Amino acid sequence: MKNNTYRWLSVFGMGILLYSCQQEAKKEDIKVPVEKVDIAEIEAGIKDFIAAKTAENGGVFPVKDENHDLRMKLVRVHTEYLSNLGPSSHFACVDLVDESGDVYDVDFFMEGKPGSMTVTQTTVHKLNGKPFYSWKQKKEDKTWYRVPLEQSNNSLLGVVEGKDSFEFYYTVQVPELTGPAEMWIPIAESDDFQEVKILDIKTPGKAKNLDEKIYDNTILYLELGPNDSGKSVEISYSVNRKEKGPYEAPAPDPKIFLSSNKLMPKGGRFEEIAKEALGPKIRDSHLIQARALYDYIIDNMRYMKFGDFGRGDSNYACDSKTGNCSEFHSFFISLARSVDIPARFAIGASIPSDRNEGGIDGYHCWAEFYADGKWWPVDISEANKYTALATYYFGRHPANRIELSRGRDLELNPGPDSGPINFLAYPYLQIDGKEVKAQSRFSFQRKTDPSS
């Protein structure tokens, strides 16, 4: 069957598509007219096939080849790679997710007419964006064949997979003060994906910890005065971090994760945009819908730091289609919540993957959405910058990061006079009832012995 499949490719000159979801290849000139099935019909055919097999197998789609035996659910069909190989022969590339949350790119070969297509061959091509093989063409007879690939390394694109261990240093310089001042700083805490230990903490003024109850944050609160001018706040952490994938959790509180925030509203034009982006997928699962919204933002936004960026303002992101990580993820959350997909915001810092010590270029933030009984991590701004990792960042956060706080509109007691804090990574300094920027610095040193 495989030889016949590859002969189809040669006869109909569809090499570009059998390079699969990886890169373009040159097309052969086709002089013989071939009756083609519409691409939309191929998409409907593969979706119907997956839906039927899913129903037959208790809600999961079985995928089996020489190296895999998997139980999957549909994430999306790559419409850009759907192809006619002949009058009744077709190719499709599909993203499916297994029960653990790993995303597989699967190649399908099909035969038949619309409404009665049969899959003749199934091959797992990629795992979380990493290819197991590529396609090459023989010079002699122009047929195509698969070439195995060793696992690629994402470290040059900023990703540390598996585990990472480092010390993280958070430093704040108190400016010149002529009267009383207050400061709020997030304190990193341990969870299922990061083990955090405070090695040392030095604070001027009067210090105490505050409990932020809605998102379960711990915030360091400082009362400062003129005698604290020029002094430093210094916090040193030891961090052992695991790569984060989808994880099971109880259904989230809709009053929190389906509601509007001050700069992350839902409904209105966000609902209109989300429904337009989803189209017929509005009837699909939340997992499929979230991937469509993720792709919409990647396709329609640019990572650019100018204008009123950095506040996580969904309206600004919607109007300008630009911003940093806070705009990307705020826009996603507004869209997701507008079509009843619970979503949440978190912020911290990314640890450089290409060196073992030094400074860190500011904060980084990300998002999660809830579907199929799991929270799914996403990092859309990184996927926008590194399109080769778009599949990886849908359902994955790398090990080289630290989470400092979660949520938006943080309510604290005592809190700033202006009301809840938008989000908290850098220190929030209040002087005379107004926010004042305080000079802060993040740095790190990677550990060679994770147990140290």
User: What CATH number should be reported for the domain holding residue 232?
Assistant: 2.60.40
Q: Are residues 267 and 186 in the same domain?
A: no
Q: What is the share, in percent, of the chain residues with pLDDT greater than 70?
A: 83
**Residue 415 placed within a domain:** no
Q: Are residues 184 and 283 in the same domain?
A: no
In terms of residue numbers, what domain contains 148?
A: 2-152
Q: Are residues 122 and 264 in the same domain?
A: no
Cβ–Cβ under 8 Å, residues 157 and 389 = yes
Q: Which of 152, 174, 205 is the last residue of a domain?
A: 152
Q: Are residues 293 and 398 in the same domain?
A: yes
Question: How do residues 381-414 score in pLDDT, each as one tens digit?
Answer: 999 988 888 999 999 999 999 999 999 999 999 9
Q: Are residues 200 and 276 in the same domain?
A: no
User: Edge-to-edge strands of the sheet including 343-350?
Assistant: 247-248, 374-378, 364-371, 343-350, 401-406
Average pLDDT over residues 97-112: 83
Structure tokens at 255: 């009053």
Q: Are residues 35 and 146 in the same domain?
A: yes
Residue type, 436: V
Q: Which of 100, 123, 152 is the last residue of a domain?
A: 152
Question: How do residues 151-207 score in pLDDT, each as one tens digit?
Answer: 555 655 789 999 999 999 999 999 999 999 999 999 999 999 999 999 999 999 999
Question: How do residues 216-230 score in pLDDT, each as one tens digit?
Answer: 999 999 999 999 999
Q: Are residues 81 and 224 in the same domain?
A: no
Q: Are residues 339 and 441 in the same domain?
A: no
pLDDT at residue 50 tops 80: yes
Choose among 84, 85, 63: nearest CA to 72: 63
pLDDT at residue 13 tops 70: no
Q: Which of 102, 133, 152 is the last residue of a domain?
A: 152
Q: Are residues 263 and 401 in the same domain?
A: yes
Q: In whole angstroms, what is the distance from residue 337 CA to residue 136 CA?
A: 44
**Residue 289 placed within a domain:** yes
Q: Are residues 172 and 289 in the same domain?
A: no
Structure tokens at 307: 């204008």
**Residue 418 placed within a domain:** no
Q: Are residues 333 and 385 in the same domain?
A: yes
**Residue 421 placed within a domain:** no
Q: Are residues 72 and 219 in the same domain?
A: no
What is the DSSP secondary structure assignment for residue 117, as one 8-state letter?
-
Q: In whole angstroms, what is the distance from residue 442 CA to residue 254 CA?
A: 34
Cβ–Cβ under 8 Å, residues 416 and 430 = yes
**Residue 375 placed within a domain:** yes
Question: How do residues 258-317 score in pLDDT, each as one tens digit?
Answer: 999 999 999 999 999 999 999 999 999 999 999 999 999 999 999 998 888 999 999 999
Average pLDDT over residues 62-69: 78
Considering its fold, how many domains does the chain have in total? 3
Q: In whole angstroms, what is the distance from residue 87 CA to residue 117 CA?
A: 12
- The SS3 assignment for 329 reads helix
Neighbouring C-beta atoms of residue 31, cutoff 10 Å? 6
- φ, ψ for residue 264, nearest 5 deg: -130, 70
Gap between the terminal Cα atoms of the chain: 55
**Average pLDDT of every residue of the chain:** 86
The two most distant CA atoms of the chain are separated, in Å, by: 86
**Residue 416 placed within a domain:** no
